[in-house]
Amino acid sequence: MILDTDILLRFLLGEADGATMKLLEKEPVVLTDMVISEVVYVLHGKMYNYTRTGLAQAILALLARKNVQYISNADASYLSLYARTTLDLVDCYLIRLAVFQNIPLKTFDKKMQRTYQVELAKVA
């Protein structure tokens, strides 16, 4: 089953009820990059104030579970890139998508372009 953002948020915040916890621990579930981006947007905001590193670690740990299938056009490494840079999540996603799919990336954002060049050099 595909999980909506509110389910994932409650799980990560420790607010999920017993039935939801059982579901997330045992049932096959699907997460998408759009849900993850919404989770990052909410949890990195002023109300919850998660750090980039903390967010990336929590989400990557969730994606590593055997019952979780991650559907995306890029690999999940954009979360690690987000944790170690000051770029927006979407910028990190686009960089990793371009590298993963071997598609050139064009941007006017100089910091994003430099990071793209570094990430591209890693696979060359």
Mean pLDDT of 85-113: 94
Alpha helices in 27-76 (DSSP H): 33-43, 52-63
Alpha helices in 13-123 (DSSP H): 18-26, 33-43, 52-63, 77-84, 89-101, 110-123
Its pTM stands at 0.82
Q: Above 90 in pLDDT, residue 117?
A: yes
pLDDT 10s digits, 68-78: 999 988 888 99
Give the domain ranges of the chain: 1-71, 86-124
Average pLDDT along the chain: 91
Within a 10 A sphere around the Cβ of 65, how many other Cβ atoms?
13
**Contact at 8 Å (CB) between 44 and 50?**
yes
Closest residue by Cα to residue 44 from 83, 4, 91: 83
pLDDT 10s digits, 2-30: 899 999 999 999 898 988 888 888 889 99
Q: Above 80 in pLDDT, residue 124?
A: no
